[in-house]
Chains A and B, each alone.
Chain A
């Protein structure tokens, strides 16, 4: 397993840095060119969400990213023991994958709750007299970014807990054409 760790301050300018880093590591890991745009967008969404949450609750705390290439032979564990654990992914498969973990430390309103990927009205779009929910960009639910991640990543888990939220996204290595997932009929 090859690992790249990145810690960024909760500043919008650094989201691009994270996107560029993730894309570069994914390309090096052998991700199909067609999936690189998806990774770039999904990582950007996850980091944007984390940055906004930190700016609202804990601007001095950094956001942590891990870029994991599971295709590289994993090093032996401490004292030559068992290898490090295979990173978790959505359905528990341990195939060769490229995984991105974005961990924030912003408080979660309801730890353990499942994130609503399908915001009100099916699209999370608030036009006319509807007011955008708190935390949303003008006219869009704050859940739209997470919905985009779900639509782009091959596997995804979003884990709110007492320490913040961990977003795990992964894509198979050496894949052919990624599926184009529609969230809305």
Chain B
């Protein structure tokens, strides 16, 4: 399926909801959204990937790019993902050590606030 993007504000965090496939064709849309959110002053992001069906290294690159942007403003970009098929690419590339990966949006927000 194609990529669906949505976002909403929860506490002081902007939650991006991603649904579908993130690949070389669709990743630019996610990149544009993340850039737009950061440009509008949202420096604490949570990307909910629970409905992502496919993610490749292009998508990883967009997420890493988003992380770089928020870090430039002392911000955070965390992920919500419990799907093994999606988590696998994070493990293979070692990105589990770079991103905070949580089981729910609330857990991601709570962790950031306690750190």
Is B62 a contact partner of A123 (Cβ separation < 8 A)?
Answer: no
Of the listed stretches B4-12, B18-26, B107-115, chain A binds: B18-26
How far is it, in angstroms, between the C-alpha of A37 and the C-alpha of B55 when the chains are bound?
11
Is A145 a contact partner of B57 (Cβ separation < 8 A)?
Answer: yes
Interface assignment of A127: CB less than 8 Å from any CB of chain B: yes
How large, as a class, is the contact surface on chain A? 35 or more
Q: Which of B23, B27, B67 contacts A127 (CB 8 A)?
A: B67
Is A15 a contact partner of B68 (Cβ separation < 8 A)?
Answer: no
Q: Which of B23, B71, B95, B98 contacts A15 (CB 8 A)?
A: B23
**Residue interface bits B3-45, CB-to-A below 8 A is 1, else 0:** 0000000000000000001011101000100000000000000
How far is it, in angstroms, between the C-alpha of A140 and the C-alpha of B56 when the chains are bound?
12
For residue B92, which residues in chain A have a CB less than 8 angstroms away from its CB?
Answer: 147-148, 151-152, 181-183
Of the listed stretches A43-51, A83-91, A100-108, A165-173, chain B binds: A43-51
Contact status of A41 and B89, CB under 8 A, knowing A15-B24, A122-B94? yes
Is B60 a contact partner of A144 (Cβ separation < 8 A)?
Answer: yes
For residue B89, which residues in chain A have a CB less than 8 angstroms away from its CB?
Answer: 41, 148
Interface assignment of A4: CB less than 8 Å from any CB of chain B: no
How large, as a class, is the contact surface on chain B? 20 to 34
Is B68 a contact partner of A144 (Cβ separation < 8 A)?
Answer: no
Is A184 a contact partner of B67 (Cβ separation < 8 A)?
Answer: no
For residue A15, which residues in chain B have a CB less than 8 angstroms away from its CB?
Answer: 23-25
Interface assignment of A125: CB less than 8 Å from any CB of chain B: yes
Which residues 76-101 of B have a CB within 8 angstroms of A? 85, 88-89, 91-95, 97-98
Interface assignment of B102: CB less than 8 Å from any CB of chain A: no
Closest 9 CB pairs of A and B: A137-B61, A138-B65, A184-B94, A139-B64, A12-B25, A151-B92, A140-B61, A48-B24, A145-B57
**Could you list 20 examples of A-B contacts with CB < 8 Å?**
A12-B23, A12-B25, A15-B23, A16-B23, A16-B25, A45-B56, A52-B24, A123-B95, A125-B98, A126-B64, A137-B60, A137-B62, A138-B31, A139-B68, A145-B56, A148-B57, A148-B89, A183-B93, A184-B93, A184-B94
Interface residues, chain A, CB within 8 Å of chain B?
Answer: 12-13, 15-16, 19, 37, 40-41, 44-45, 48, 51-52, 122-128, 136-140, 144-145, 147-148, 151-152, 180-184
Interface residues, chain B, CB within 8 Å of chain A?
Answer: 21, 23-25, 27, 31, 54, 56-58, 60-62, 64-65, 67-68, 71, 85, 88-89, 91-95, 97-98
